[in-house]
A and B are shown apart, each in its own frame.
Chain A
């Protein structure tokens, strides 16, 4: 917030102040009308329609009160040593002790006025009051007054105190400025446009403007005289007609609503300024008088024991409406006076200030007030005056707390809601355009309902944070006690005490704080900034808990060892194996031992065998035949039996020279076994001699590469080969038990034949394969890449049978082979059936066991 530097004292002042808070020097040139300057017209009339209804009512009442005051002022001689003020007129009335004043005026009058009327020094106190506004420093002789706001301000939020002090300083400066200017510019009336501030123009009786009395003056005097006459009646309460809603001048349809809050037991003391407003005598509204008198008696006379004259007040039993008494434990009087400079301490209410009903002698000064402090032996300065005489420093914290403290008391009473226009757009508060009386009326006539409701809401929001303040009695509230809503705010404020409270830079647009800046903090008030309590307990639903239990069960099952299968199963399997092995050993051994050749052999040769025999018969004599040994020793008996008839037929037919080469590491050692078992190299057989009739080239490494290399250059690949070219071999016979290795020879030879068809076109490729390799090589036989093939013992037995049962190996194996196959087939059939039945029974038992 930018400050303004005082041109006189040089101190910094808030920018919302027009006058220096230290020396009261005008801070702005336009803030006041100086000597020799003509006032500038301000067109603010267009803002008049948008004022809220309550503000309009306040202004209207202020006009009326101003008119009344002006009328009284004009009717009475002015006191020369006092400022021409409304209060000055009241002081003059207070001096008139002999004049009878109606009770309502007596109730309004502070006792101080009466004391001032009795004592010359008392009148001086009023003048001192106005003189205090001229001072820049607070009075040191008022320690009690200073202690109380100080203690309160220490506990009040900053924004509240700031607003209060600012309002205080603002009002003080306005008054001092106004007084000084008004006294000096009596001959120069301020020109104010009628349509802008009409209510001010209506209040031409304000002494500050010194405007001529309007024609209403006789009328005002008449109601005042009527009031005086009415007070002379002993049975009738004096103030009853004054507070009749219908009797108020200008009270239209809205007046009853506006004055409803006056009937509230905790109604703020702002209603005190309603008292001098009446413009009509009580005779004009006799029907409303009893009610008004009753609540006035209740409010004003119930708890004001300070005045000894109270008992002498003529209170009509019928008019003393006791319905308000039980609810009102408050000492607030509706006639509690609010200082003219809008010092908000008058709103403190409660038990701090109590008005005593004026005695007949005191009734001459209707605004006389007797503070309780004075009754306790304190000084005679009222609280509101003491508050006004506090240091005019910067807006101190907690100043507004007094304001709301009264509101706190008022919250315990059933306040009537004041209708507020929802389209309310408050006009900017122009301090210059309002007189002190207007400001008083502004804060005295109506309080918006939010002020009364806010407190109750705050109390309702945080009932557990602060102990409930008993609403039944305002006397229980000590002067230093904070209202509950303030205490409810303190924990939140203490929680964020380290943080600088950010103040709103925008001016308030609603309520009595309209036009003030930085009063309400931006930060939320209350429990919204408190850290929310977080429950440490896991919030899990039933489904989540059930899922967690399932997961736990699954995890526990993973760590649980499974039961090992029954030992009997393993035993039965082993027995079965031993039984199978024993059966085969017995049967096959018996067949081998018996050397039976009873099983018949078919003479129908397969096509591949016929092709092989055909090729062998067409081979040239004494040619070199390449014999590839490509089987393992495990299958040597089978391959010997399969290849025996082929080799025997080949040797016997062509007398070929056999060249053995092995693509298996152990194949080289199987060559002699083969020749011996087939009878080729046996002396009892063909008697082929190694090196002459057959050659064992040994092992050919390299797989396909070795085959390729041997096909390309046999002598290079295998140094023992006598054939320089592969074409020198009349035929290639591959003895294999593996389709993969046999496939290599097929692929490499066919590729060579395609590359050189003329040379390899008639080089046959024959295969003698085991039963397991035959299906894989059968496609090559079908595609004639393999010219002839003998597959398995069954074909070999046929071939051998055709070959005159030579060498006879197949035939020897044939019966044993047949017995073993039959045994195997039978065991497979019956074993499978037994397993099927046993399996079904086991599954059924398992199903029954669950």
Chain B
């Protein structure tokens, strides 16, 4: 069974990869077909995830665990939303209300809490650890906020130049991070193609 799964995985990867380098209709078709299968599998994976979420919370409610009532509310909300979405469609007014009145405010509130938490962490930083990197981190964060924040006098003189200078470091770090991600992705793909890594199971 391991050999079969590995064979399918490696063959699919090689065929899709060849479609990038070889301009052939057959390879393009095969690549497109395999990609469609991947999209379908991904969609079913999301559906399976939703079903698993329902079972987990139902089990939590059945075993009378702490917060079980919230699990019941989640499951009920999920069922009603899914049902209404399938019946009414996403463009329905009720569905818009569910999004605008529930989802967005809740998640936005979480972002507001995040803001409070970050400010609190920055305040407590020097109490927990006083070293050079902590001070630099805190000073740079405060400086960037000062440079980008709206002021009654508009942008501070020399703020844009100083901000571009600081962004140089952020851009350099971002490039390095992206290069690292690209190399990691390449290596992961090769390992999957050579059968070293088997995320599909059988390892």
Q: Report A's interface with B, CB cutoff 8 A.
A: 573, 576-577, 580-581, 584, 598-602, 604, 632-637, 665-666, 668-670, 672-673, 690, 696, 698, 700-703, 705-706, 708-709, 712-713, 716-717, 739, 743, 751, 755, 775-779, 782, 792, 794, 797, 814-815, 817-818, 820-822, 824-825, 827-829, 831-836, 838-840, 842
Contacts and interface: CB of A to CB of B under 8 A. Distances in A.
A839 B127 contact: yes
20 contacts: A600-B150, A602-B155, A634-B111, A670-B99, A673-B99, A700-B39, A701-B42, A702-B39, A708-B35, A712-B31, A716-B36, A739-B174, A775-B167, A775-B174, A777-B174, A782-B171, A824-B115, A825-B145, A831-B120, A831-B123
Interface in B30-45: 31-32, 35-36, 38-39, 42-43
A144 B171 CA distance: 122
Q: Give the secondary structure class of B's interface.
A: helix
A835 B178 contact: no
A738 to B, nearest CB: 13
A779 B174 contact: yes
Contacts of B90: 668-669, 696, 698
Given A584-B116, A669-B103, A705-B38, A713 B123 contact: no
Contacts of B23: 755
A836 B130 contact: yes
Given A690-B91, A782-B171, A828-B123, A633 B104 contact: yes
Interface string B152-168: 11110000100000010
A743 B184 CA distance: 15
A818 to B, nearest CB: 3
A598 B119 contact: no
B25 interface: no
B171 A636 contact: no
A110 to B, nearest CB: 108
A839 B110 CA distance: 30
Given A600-B150, A825-B142, A839-B130, A832 B123 contact: yes
A713 B149 CA distance: 44
A698 to B, nearest CB: 7
Given A635-B111, A690-B91, A821 B149 contact: yes
A634 B107 contact: yes
Contacts of B119: 580, 824, 827-828, 831
Nearest to A839: B127
A633 B108 CA distance: 7
B154 A705 contact: no
B20 interface: yes
Contacts of A835: 123-127
A778 B168 CA distance: 10
Interface in B1-55: 20, 23, 28, 31-32, 35-36, 38-39, 42-43, 46
B95 interface: yes
Nearest to A671: B90
A600 to B, nearest CB: 4
Nearest to A817: B150
Given A673-B104, A751-B20, 15 more contacts: A601-B154, A636-B108, A637-B104, A666-B99, A666-B103, A673-B99, A703-B42, A709-B35, A713-B32, A778-B167, A779-B178, A818-B149, A824-B115, A827-B119, A836-B130
A669 B101 CA distance: 12
Interface residues of B, number: 62
A713 B127 CA distance: 56
B59 interface: no
Contacts of B138: 828, 832
Interface of B: 20, 23, 28, 31-32, 35-36, 38-39, 42-43, 46, 90-91, 95-96, 98-100, 103-104, 106-108, 110-112, 115-116, 119-120, 122-128, 130, 138, 141-142, 145-146, 148-155, 160, 167, 170-171, 173-175, 177-178, 181
Contacts of B91: 672, 690, 696
By CB atoms of chain A within 10 A, which of B110, B124, B167 has the most? B124
A189 B108 CA distance: 141
A670 to B, nearest CB: 7
A794 B148 contact: yes
Contacts of A775: 167, 170-171, 173-174
Contact of A779 (B35, B46, B152, B171): B171
A842 B154 CA distance: 41
Which secondary structure dominates chain A's binding surface? helix
Contacts of A601: 150, 154
B108 A832 contact: no
B123 A633 contact: no
Contacts of A708: 35
A779 B150 contact: no
Shortest Cβ-Cβ A-B pairs, 9 listed: A831-B123, A634-B107, A818-B150, A835-B127, A821-B149, A702-B39, A669-B99, A839-B127, A599-B150
B178 A814 contact: no
Contacts of A838: 127
Contacts of A673: 96, 99-100, 104
B116 A599 contact: no
B19 to A, nearest CB: 9
Contacts of B32: 709, 712-713, 716
Contacts of B174: 739, 775-779
Contacts of B142: 825, 828-829
B107 A827 contact: no
A581 B116 contact: yes
A716 B29 CA distance: 12
Contact of A836 (B39, B127, B149): B127
Given A713-B32, A835-B125, A824 B151 contact: no
A708 B39 CA distance: 10
A814 B127 contact: no
A755 B19 CA distance: 11
Contacts of B152: 598-600
Contacts of A635: 107, 111
Contacts of B110: 634
A824 B128 CA distance: 20
Given A703-B42, A832-B125, A825 B104 contact: no
Nearest to A814: B150
Contacts of B151: 599-600, 818, 822
A821 B154 contact: no
A518 B174 CA distance: 97
A712 B35 contact: yes
B115 A832 contact: no
Contacts of A822: 149, 151
B195 to A, nearest CB: 20
Nearest to B123: A831
Given A634-B108, A703-B42, A779-B175, A577 B120 contact: yes
Contacts of B46: 665, 701
B150 A832 contact: no
B122 A832 contact: yes
Nearest to B32: A712
A665 B81 CA distance: 13
A833 B98 CA distance: 44
A693 to B, nearest CB: 14
Contacts of B128: 839
A832 B124 CA distance: 7
Contacts of A743: 178, 181
Nearest to B45: A701
B39 A701 contact: yes
Nearest to A840: B130
B116 A825 contact: no
Given A599-B150, A599-B152, A701-B42, A828 B116 contact: no
A149 to B, nearest CB: 91
Nearest to B111: A634
A602 B154 CA distance: 7
B126 A839 contact: yes
A778 B177 CA distance: 12
B149 A584 contact: no
A584 B167 contact: no
A821 B150 contact: yes
